[in-house]
Amino acid sequence: MIKFVIRGVVNEAETGVGISGLFVKAYDKDLLFDDLMGTAYTGDDGHFSISSQSGDFREFLDRNPDIYLKVYTPDEERLLYTSEDAVRWRAGEDEVFEVRIPREDLDDLLPRRRVQLLDDRGRERTDFDVGEALTVQIEGLQPATAHDVILQSEDGDELFTSRLMSNRDGVIEGAVLWPQFGLSDPRTDEALTVEQAQERWQGHRLNLAVGTGNQTAFEHEVRIADTFSRPLVLGTDEEGRVVNGFVVNEGSARVSGYNVPFEGRVRVYMVPRQRNWRMGDPFAPVHLVGGRPAFVDVEVEARRFQAVVAQSDELAPGAYDFIVRPLRYGYEDDEVFILRENDLVTRTVTGLVVREEFMASKTVLGGCVNTQPMSGRHISGRPYFQYVDTFQVGDDVWGALDPAALDPNLIGKAVALYVIQHKPPTAWSSDSSLTHLPVLGGNPAVLKFVTQPGCINYNDRLLWPNATIEGEYDLVADFGNDATSLSAFTPDDSFDPPLDLIDGYFVSGFRVVPDPTTDTSFANCGSFQYNDGPVTVTDDYDSVTVDRRAIVYFPSDVAGATMVSQISTAQSSYPVVVIVHGNSSVTTSYLGYNYLLEHLAKSGFIAASIHLNPGMHGTGRARMLFQHLTLLNAKFGSNAANNIGIMGHSRGGEAVAIAARLNHQDSLGHNINAVISLAPTDQYTSENLGGTWATPYLVVYGAMDGDVAGGSGNPWNTGFALYDRASGAKKSMVFVYGATHGRFNTVWGDTDLYFGKIGPTDMPKLISADAHQKVAKGYMTAFFRQNLKNETQWKGIFRDEWVPSAVELADGGAVKLYVQYEDTTRSEVDNFEEAHTATSWQTSTIGGAVTDSSTLPANPQENELFNLDNQSPHDTSGLLLRWDNTSDELRFNVPSAHQNVTAYNAVSFRITQKVGSASNPAGPQDLYLTLNDTTGNSRSIKVSKFQEIPQPQSRHYAQYTKSAMNTVRIPLHVFIIEVVGTDQVDLTKIESLTFDFGANGTGEVEIDSVEFTE
């Protein structure tokens, strides 16, 4: 038995409106007697459906029906339509019919049609005055269909056409057709004064025609009043032509009133724009640029007035309405700013818009582009996704559309995500086409899905696995034909704001960058040594005479260059990097960084390593640095830019911090823009790299240093103290597990392995000399490129957002390093530096209460970290705390003045496991950071999703094992993206942040630098 379905719709022929309640019969045409296959009544939208089994009609040799329809009135009496003369022979199992019946045959069967003309307040009108808003509401249309609404003059000329969409009920609801009716002639765009408009339109009868395509469904008359009597207030020019807006400083706020229903003096207020004024609404005059409130008193004569409320130089950009109120004698200064029944107000049309200069400040074609972050990395588990804009070659690039950031109309819509080459706004202006990267398969391979509500996890996709091509890219979400299913979706390969979204446009959405460890911009470099004879400089205890000897590398266009004149002509000048070695018994220490010098030269620097005598201290090394800067400037002339980076190792690492100070104090005039201390001592001058000589600072230090190992004194003599004391510029410290002192210098090698600080159980933990060199090349080159060449793509390295791949892969992936970072843009919650008492931990730096809610087994202790923990290498105060239950917590309340953290990108703190504490696990520690807002919403983020709180690397000689803090940075956007099952936090109202110890049942840590930061 075969089932046949006959379905379709019955429409009014002229408009396409579906007719409900009609009786439909389907027949199988036969030679003698036609078989009735079934009947149905049309539904609300005119649709019908009839099912029939083959046994109902099949006769001998009759395999498929030959179908025709008959349509009757609802009482089944009168035949309206038949297709008997157009039989559908040998019909299929599913046949669709569209029946169009002329209007004249339908009579009262047509749906109820009604056109209402409405006034400003939504009341029905039969006629209109000029200046009013002509508003229509139309019922009885085909549902969800675009209709042309045409306004015609009496002689049939089209004044204008509006295309309006009917809703699902076939209604066009209250649509303003002509905002200020009659004040211009749409045919000529001629602006008319109110008087001219009255004269032009008075007593006319216009025609409103509604239809689809070329068919007019129905018409309606619009009458214009014979006499104009209704009050009218509007912005005008001096002659009375309407002026609704202008660019700031290009006009004054002039108001005209007509048919004013009261005599005498009135006060005209200029107030902030409000839609749909109603009696009882509060209002207040705006304050003009000079500070005075915006109102003016004026006399009404012959029911008219004109007044200037504000001169052009008093007007700030904004949207304003005007309110006219009769003055009550004696009450002029005692007005109640509540809208009264007899106040006149500009209603549907905004009284006046004062625009900012648009194109002067906005370079966007069309004036609008929706940018939002999309590129990032997928996170396993909450919060599922992190926005990222820098990827290293070989990384996976993901993209996500956060439902919380999408326009609700875009939820449930099909979208295509294009990965395209970045192009600037000017290029978009001439070409909005989208070209999905060829390496990803081009436009046919663009990835499509339907956006889902509820969680960003539903809308993230792997877009570019193993991104291989360096460059700058944008991500575009193309909503194409605005479809709700993939089957109906067609991307249009074009970026069409405002529907489509872009991650990019002004700056690139994301970039794929090379590894700074291996990336170079010059194929060749030259090299030479010089010895310009001895010079005597003062040192910390005495003076010392030193040969001015150095080795120099420089970018070159030829291989094997040895002369300054062979410097590359690619640039007119190059930044200068000088390396200051540390103390050693050998006199060739300065030759131990050639691997780094060569890489720096090929990266576009003039790079030199200078000789220093054995036994020299900190200040003497700094003085020699300046001697060589002078020599290098003389040798390279204008090729050497006064844009200098300095790197010192060991005693040299302390010396470069001294040099930054001396350069300032002695007014030496060197532009030192980057300072790196490699395994520095901190034994001469207790330097504070800060204040007026604050400089971007990087410390690199090995956890297995056999020379500068710490272990005694307060603070310990290591780079941690130098890092802690540095301030006033961005700073970062890379603590490298397994790194020694000497392996960064190829001449020194393993010398410090035999200084008595590295024991046999340490040896397997040491990383190779090759790994040391990769750490130095990767991090130091990136640091100098960032700070001397303004290459911002490397900043993520110093926030530990990514690790150069050569470092990551060194020694088979055995290199672990942990990073501290401090930005100059930050709002400290607690730095624990206030006077220390047993209870001082209970108040934070910003004056908020700190509480453990009586959960911790003992009160936290706030003090200098070296006083709290003799394994701490730090020179800063912090908080030592221990927990013994997953319900334990420590909460920092945020005072109201600091609760808006939207100016920052991350919440950050430093933390270390306390060495030797039995409370910590054998491995990384973990905890949650929770942000709570004032409305009761909160979200907890597991720290390990972003950063490890590592187990301290233990040393054979236990006194050298360090409670070394690293920085945890959690991007604030992970607290506001939509994540299923958790609140979104209001970053304008952060009431508190809480360390929740629910990840591990016990622990003992030291924390510092709790802050919101860039």
Which residue in 41, 160, 358, 754 binds another protein (CB under 8 A)? 754
CB of 541 to another protein, least distance (A): 4
- Residue 160 or 541 having the CB closest to another protein: 541
- Residue 236 or 583 having the CB closest to another protein: 583
687 to 726, contacts with another protein by CB under 8 A? 707-708, 711-713, 717
Element (H, E) at 624: helix 618-636
Two tokens, residue 440: 């990803």
Element (H, E) at 865: helix 865-868
CB of 685 to another protein, least distance (A): 13
Q: Is 891 among the residues that bind another protein (CB under 8 A)?
A: no
Two tokens, residue 510: 């994301």
Q: Is 679 among the residues that bind another protein (CB under 8 A)?
A: yes
Which residue in 602, 651, 772, 942 binds another protein (CB under 8 A)? 651
434 closest CA partner among 446, 448, 449, 450: 446
Per CB under 8 A, which region of 150-158, 600-608, 747-755, 835-843 contacts another protein? 747-755
Cβ-in-10-Å burial (0-12, 13-18, 19+) of 329 comes to exposed
- Residue 325 or 617 having the CB closest to another protein: 617
- Residue 572 or 585 having the CB closest to another protein: 585
CB of 912 to another protein, least distance (A): 22
510 closest CA partner among 415, 373, 404: 373
Q: Is 1003 among the residues that bind another protein (CB under 8 A)?
A: no
Q: Is 755 among the residues that bind another protein (CB under 8 A)?
A: yes
CB of 810 to another protein, least distance (A): 24
CB of 538 to another protein, least distance (A): 10
By rule CB under 8 A, what string of x and - marks binding of each residue 518-557 to another protein?
Answer: -----------------------xx---------------
Which residue in 252, 256, 392, 583 binds another protein (CB under 8 A)? 583
930 to 959, contacts with another protein by CB under 8 A? 956
Q: Where are the beta strands (DSSP E) in 652-754?
A: 672-678, 697-702, 731-736
Collapsing DSSP states into helix, strand and coil, what is residue 764?
Answer: helix
Two tokens, residue 827: 């709002």
Q: Is 465 among the residues that bind another protein (CB under 8 A)?
A: no
Q: How many alpha carbons fall within 13 Å on the CB side of residue 268?
A: 27
- Residue 446 or 708 having the CB closest to another protein: 708
DSSP state of 702: E
Q: Is 650 among the residues that bind another protein (CB under 8 A)?
A: yes
Which residue in 74, 179, 326, 759 binds another protein (CB under 8 A)? 759
Task: Concatenate the DSSP letters of all residues of 164-195 into one string.
Answer: EE--TTS-EEEEEEETTTTSEETTTTEE-BHH
CB of 687 to another protein, least distance (A): 16
Collapsing DSSP states into helix, strand and coil, what is residue 643?
Answer: strand
Q: Is 575 among the residues that bind another protein (CB under 8 A)?
A: no
For residue 734, give every residue at least 6 positions away whose Cβ sits within 8 Å of its Cβ, in sequence order, or none: 698, 699, 700, 701, 775, 779, 817, 818, 819
Number of helices followed by number of strands (H, E) in the chain: 13, 58
Which residue in 609, 681, 961, 966 binds another protein (CB under 8 A)? 681
- Residue 599 or 651 having the CB closest to another protein: 651
DSSP state of 429: H
- Do strands 697-702 and 731-736 pair parallel, antiparallel, or not at all (unpaired)? parallel
8 A C-beta contact, residue 201 and residue 185: no
Q: How many residues bind another protein (CB under 8 A)?
A: 30
By rule CB under 8 A, what string of x and - marks binding of each residue 609-648 to another protein?
Answer: -----xx-x-------------------------------
Which residue in 15, 196, 443, 584 binds another protein (CB under 8 A)? 584
- Residue 428 or 590 having the CB closest to another protein: 590
Block residue for tokens 């730090």: 874
Per CB under 8 A, which region of 32-40, 557-565, 580-588, 849-857 contacts another protein? 580-588
- Residue 759 or 916 having the CB closest to another protein: 759
CB of 583 to another protein, least distance (A): 5
- Residue 282 or 614 having the CB closest to another protein: 614
SS3 assignment for 346-392: CCCCCCEEEECCHHHHCCCHHHCCEECCCEEEECCCCCCEEECCEEE
- Rg (C-alpha) for the chain, rounded Å, is 39
Peptide bond before 425: cis, by omega within 30 degrees of 0?
no
CB of 771 to another protein, least distance (A): 21
Which residue in 147, 254, 325, 741 binds another protein (CB under 8 A)? 741
Q: How many Cβ atoms are within 10 Å of 623's Cβ, its own excluded?
A: 23
8 A C-beta contact, residue 734 and residue 967: no
Distance CA 659, CA 676 (A): 12
965 to 984, contacts with another protein by CB under 8 A? none
- Residue 170 or 652 having the CB closest to another protein: 652
Cα first-last separation, the chain: 72
- Do strands 245-247 and 352-355 pair parallel, antiparallel, or not at all (unpaired)? parallel
For residue 85, give every residue at least 6 positions away whose Cβ sits within 8 Å of its Cβ, in sequence order, or none: none
Which residues of this protein are in contact with another protein, per CB under 8 A?
541-542, 582-585, 614-615, 617, 650-651, 679, 681, 683, 707-708, 711-713, 717, 741, 751-752, 754-757, 759-760, 956
